[in-house]
């Protein structure tokens, strides 16, 4: 199959390139803009309490809404506001209202804080949730510029925060992050490929090809999102960059290593490409298949965030896979050996002394290598026990945005939960009006809850069957302390309703509590399904029921070690209150899927050597010698591209960048390079059961292997050395 594909591409390279060009024009030209959201509530199914509360609020209080943005004003010298200052703030609010900015429904002057350090102005915008229209974004920007003019020379300092302002700042930070990640990723790939191949042509090849492919993938994802109503989180666009360029460069690397190998055996350029596609195609397809299946397992998630993330990344990897097996071979077949210009190292076989020495040592002492590599991962895995999730996707910007700065200013005068109050809705279940006495006693009960700063008098809906108690917590809405209050004492107090009524807790903190419940469900469903599917792929590839189990156990240990390392770096060293709640699932899928790729390359080579009759120790030594350089090069590039996320500036992307790059590095340089071959050597021929027992040919670990051009060697992965 893959030989036929390679032959068809090499015979008609211009047709292949033309078809790709036509597809790119159609997909990119017709695709809608990829819309993203930061509204966590939109990710939850409708049966969760926070969503039910939101629906009840819409029915009972259709015109009631918390301010979409809050103007926060303080004196520039930090002193308490005087009566004249307060009057000036009221005048500023009146002036802003008189400008009738588009999409701003109302501007309401707020109170001065009890300590008179802060005064607020509420800005109402209809339906200003996690995604704003272009006009609403422009309105926030205009509001900020007008505010700067109105406060000039007054001795006052003012800024805009709140949900809408945070969205605008997050959007700006995301655009900046995408530029940083794209620049760092492309720069890293260029440098590493120049070092590995010493050819500017090869260094530029994946950048140009994957640049086109990325535009197509983004267009396909945007079309799928619009067609199926997928909610794409704002972090996805940055992740798409590193997935496309990182994974795509790995596939290009696998193909070029094997292409160079076939040239060294004496094949002409076109036949070498046919052979390369035929030999490395199964490895690329299997590796991509494992990643795609792992991503698609996210469709089982109870959160729309992950149900959208999985297909989006799966589309990106599938597009890259097709390009790696068609577009890249077509371009390289036209260039021939000029693709290596000006280096001539492709003509000779290097000695690969370092990997030969490593392989020889591992073949002689597999137990030591298994003990050390497994022990290192096990020690790191202990740190995973300290994992604490945090649910604020918008925090952690490396640059202080205006919304973040004035959030802190607001805390000088109001409780930490003032900008994100919790709502407790009391609803009559008998359609009888709620009595004033029951409402008063219910409010008193809520106000007595530890962790509650204040409870406003209830707003009662028409008909008096629904009442809304606005609860301000002592802690910020996204904090663990606020979540503990809502899920614990506040929930118990809210459930103690008057006869004939029920209670629902809404607000952003309630959303976070429900997100954690949903995540607990997903951990129990998505993880096992993804692992089981990858286990099946490994079993089919290796035709074994033994090796896949310890390979998956090794990858699972790598996941735990990666999570432990992230906890140590961000919580213990960095002082963070926790790690972003989406990290374990995203990290698990990347580390398990991509980590399995490198295990696939190594164990396939191990099986090749065993199939030729070599003993387990010799097979391990030779597999490290020949597959090691490919895994090291690919792992370095992929880990480096994900590490570029650390430069994006937000805590979510920084944590993802560190964890995924660390996990990939551990998968390549610890698991695939040492743990997998050493354990396979220790398990021996039983690793390939129920495959046929191979005749062992006595050889020393340092002996010269059969030439990789020998037809008997035609396995999934062959020799691939760095010159």
Q: What is the pLDDT of residues 417-457, one digit of tens each?
A: 776 789 999 999 998 999 999 999 999 999 999 999 999 99
Dist CA 529 CA 668 (whole Å): 24
Predicted confidence (pLDDT) per residue in 297-317, tens digit: 888 888 777 777 788 888 888
Please report which residue ranges of 326-392 form alpha helices under DSSP H: 327-335, 353-364, 366-382
Of 447, 423, 440, the closest CA to residue 503 belongs to 423
**Largest Cα–Cα distance of the chain, in whole Å?**
95
Question: Are 414 and 541 part of one and the same domain?
Answer: no
Question: Are 531 and 628 part of one and the same domain?
Answer: yes
Please check whether residue 722 lies inside any domain of the structure: no
Predicted confidence (pLDDT) per residue in 616-638, tens digit: 999 999 889 878 888 888 888 87
Chain centroid offset of residue 64 CA: 35
**What is the model's pLDDT at position 477?**
80
| pLDDT higher than 70, residue 362 | yes
Question: Are 436 and 356 part of one and the same domain?
Answer: no
Residue 175's alpha-carbon distances to 134, 203, 406, 650, in angstroms, are: 15, 26, 22, 12
Dist CA 292 CA 317 (whole Å): 7
Question: Are 568 and 663 part of one and the same domain?
Answer: yes
Question: Are 572 and 489 part of one and the same domain?
Answer: no
Please check whether residue 647 lies inside any domain of the structure: yes
Residues 298/221, Cβ–Cβ less than 8 Å: no
Please check whether residue 77 lies inside any domain of the structure: yes
Q: How many CB atoms lie within 10 A of CB 195?
A: 12
Chain centroid offset of residue 661 CA: 12
Of 601, 600, 667, 684, the closest CA to residue 363 belongs to 684
What's the first-to-final CA gap in the chain, in angstroms? 31
Six-digit token string for 144: 């900020």
| pTM, rounded to two decimals | 0.73
Taking each helix axis as running N to C, give the angle between helix 366-382 and helix 547-566, from 0 to 180 degrees, rounded to the nearest 10: 40
Q: Is 718 helix (H, G, I), strand (E, B) or coil?
A: coil
Question: Are 162 and 276 part of one and the same domain?
Answer: no
Task: Go through the chain and tell me how many residues it has.
Answer: 723
The half-sphere exposure of 87 on its side-chain side, counting CA atoms within 13 A, is 3
Q: What is the CATH number of the domain that holds 108?
A: 3.30.70.1320
Residue 216's pLDDT band (cuts 50, 70, 90): confident
Please check whether residue 158 lies inside any domain of the structure: yes
Please check whether residue 57 lies inside any domain of the structure: no
Six-digit token string for 378: 């096990």
* Rg of the chain taking only CA atoms, in angstroms: 30
Question: Are 344 and 358 part of one and the same domain?
Answer: no
Of 503, 505, 498, 492, the closest CA to residue 434 belongs to 498
Question: Are 374 and 449 part of one and the same domain?
Answer: no
Say what percent of the chain tops pLDDT 70.
Answer: 87
Residue 689's pLDDT band (cuts 50, 70, 90): confident
Question: Are 541 and 505 part of one and the same domain?
Answer: no
Chain centroid offset of residue 669 CA: 22
Residues 562/662, Cβ–Cβ less than 8 Å: yes
Residues 487/449, Cβ–Cβ less than 8 Å: no
Question: Are 305 and 206 part of one and the same domain?
Answer: yes
Looking at 302, 328, 349, the residue that finishes a domain is 349
Please check whether residue 440 lies inside any domain of the structure: yes
Domain span holding position 475: 409-513
Please check whether residue 180 lies inside any domain of the structure: no
Dist CA 478 CA 644 (whole Å): 27
Q: Are strands 389-390 and 579-580 parallel, antiparallel or unpaired?
A: parallel
Question: Are 161 and 225 part of one and the same domain?
Answer: no
Residue 37's pLDDT band (cuts 50, 70, 90): low
Dist CA 230 CA 311 (whole Å): 9
Six-digit token string for 719: 């020799």
Dist CA 112 CA 102 (whole Å): 27
Predicted confidence (pLDDT) per residue in 255-313, tens digit: 888 888 788 888 888 999 998 888 778 878 887 888 888 888 888 888 777 777 788 88
**What is the model's pLDDT at position 695?**
45
Predicted confidence (pLDDT) per residue in 474-508, tens digit: 888 878 889 999 999 999 999 999 999 999 999 88
Looking at 486, 513, 540, the residue that finishes a domain is 513
Looking at 305, 324, 349, the residue that finishes a domain is 349
**What is the model's pLDDT at position 652?**
74
Please check whether residue 40 lies inside any domain of the structure: no
Q: How many domains does the chain have?
A: 4
Question: Are 679 and 602 part of one and the same domain?
Answer: yes
Dist CA 304 CA 306 (whole Å): 5
Q: What is the CATH number of the domain that holds 663?
A: 1.20.1640.10
Dist CA 364 CA 347 (whole Å): 32
**What is the model's pLDDT at position 106?**
84
């Amino acid at each position: 199959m893959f030989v036929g594909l390679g032959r068809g591409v090499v015979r008609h390279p211009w047709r292949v390139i033309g078809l790709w060009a036509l597809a790119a024009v159609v997909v990119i030209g017709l695709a809608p803009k990829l819309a993203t959201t930061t509204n966590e509530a939109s990710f939850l199914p409708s049966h969760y309490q926070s969503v039910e509360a939101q629906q009840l609020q819409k029915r009972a209080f259709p015109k009631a809404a918390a301010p979409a943005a809050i103007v926060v004003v303080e004196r520039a010298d930090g002193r308490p506001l005087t009566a004249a200052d307060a009057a000036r703030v009221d005048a500023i609010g009146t002036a802003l209202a008189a400008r009738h900015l588009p999409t701003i429904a109302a501007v309401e002057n707020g109170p001065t804080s009890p300590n008179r350090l802060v005064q607020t102005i509420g800005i109402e915008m209809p339906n200003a949730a996690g995604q704003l229209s272009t006009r609403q974004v422009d309105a926030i920007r205009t509001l900020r510029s007008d505010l700067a003019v109105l406060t000039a020379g007054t001795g006052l300092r003012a800024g805009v925060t709140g949900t809408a302002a945070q969205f605008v700042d997050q959007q700006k930070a995301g655009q900046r992050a995408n530029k940083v990640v794209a620049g760092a990723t492309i720069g890293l790939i260029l440098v590493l490929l120049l070092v590995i191949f010493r050819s500017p042509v090869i260094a530029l090849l994946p950048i140009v090809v994957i640049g086109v492919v990325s535009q197509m993938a983004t267009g396909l994802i945007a079309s799928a999102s619009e067609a199926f109503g997928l909610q794409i989180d704002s972090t996805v666009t940055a992740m798409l960059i590193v997935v496309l360029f990182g994974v795509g460069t790995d596939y290009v690397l696998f193909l070029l290593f094997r292409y160079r190998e076939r040239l060294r055996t004496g094949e002409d350029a076109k036949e070498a490409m046919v052979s390369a596609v035929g030999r490395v195609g199964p490895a690329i397809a299997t590796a991509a298949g494992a990643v795609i299946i792992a991503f698609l397992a996210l469709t089982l998630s109870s959160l729309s965030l992950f149900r959208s993330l999985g297909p989006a990344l799966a589309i990106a990897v599938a597009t890259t896979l097709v390009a790696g097996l068609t577009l890249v071979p077509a371009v390289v077949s036209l260039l021939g050996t000029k693709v290596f210009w000006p280096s001539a190292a492709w003509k000779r076989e290097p000695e690969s002394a370092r990997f030969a020495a490593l392989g020889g040592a591992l073949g002689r002492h597999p137990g030591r290598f298994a003990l050390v590599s497994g022990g290192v991962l096990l020690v790191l895995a202990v740190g995973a026990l300290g994992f604490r999730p945090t649910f604020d996707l918008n925090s952690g910007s490396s640059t202080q945005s205006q919304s973040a700065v004035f959030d802190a200013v607001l805390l000088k005068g109001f409780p930490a939960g003032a900008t994100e109050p919790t709502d407790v809705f009391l609803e009559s279940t008998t359609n009888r009006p709620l009595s004033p006495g029951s409402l008063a006693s219910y409010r008193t009960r809520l106000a007595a809850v530890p962790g509650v700063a204040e409870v406003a008098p209830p707003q009662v809906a028409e008909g008096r069957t629904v009442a809304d108690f606005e609860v301000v917590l002592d802690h910020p809405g996204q904090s663990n302390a606020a979540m503990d209050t809502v899920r614990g004492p506040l929930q118990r107090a809210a459930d103690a309703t008057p006869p004939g009524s029920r209670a629902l807790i809404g607000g952003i903190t309630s959303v976070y509590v429900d997100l954690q419940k949903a995540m607990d469900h997903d951990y129990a469903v998505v993880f096992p399904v993804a692992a089981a599917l990858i286990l099946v792929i490994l079993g089919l590839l290796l035709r074994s029921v033994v090796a896949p189990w310890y390979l998956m156990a090794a990858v699972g240990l790598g996941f735990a070690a990666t999570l432990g390392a992230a906890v140590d770096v961000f919580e213990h060293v960095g002082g963070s209150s926790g790690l972003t709640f989406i990290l374990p699932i995203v990290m698990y899928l990347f580390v398990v899927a991509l980590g399995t790729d490198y295990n696939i390359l190594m164990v396939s080579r191990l099986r090749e050597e065993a199939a030729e009759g070599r003993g387990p120790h010799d097979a391990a030594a030779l597999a490290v010698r020949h597959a090691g350089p490919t895994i090291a090069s690919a792992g370095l590039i992929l880990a480096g591209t994900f590490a570029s996320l650390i430069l994006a500036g937000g805590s979510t992307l920084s944590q993802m960048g560190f964890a995924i790059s660390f996990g990939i590095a551990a998968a390549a340089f610890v698991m695939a390079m040492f743990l997998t071959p050493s354990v396979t050597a220790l398990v021996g021929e039983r690793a390939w059961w129920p495959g046929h027992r191979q005749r062992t040919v006595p050889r020393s670990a340092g002996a010269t292997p059969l030439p990789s051009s020998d037809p008997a060697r035609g396995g999934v992965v062959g020799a691939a050395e760095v010159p």
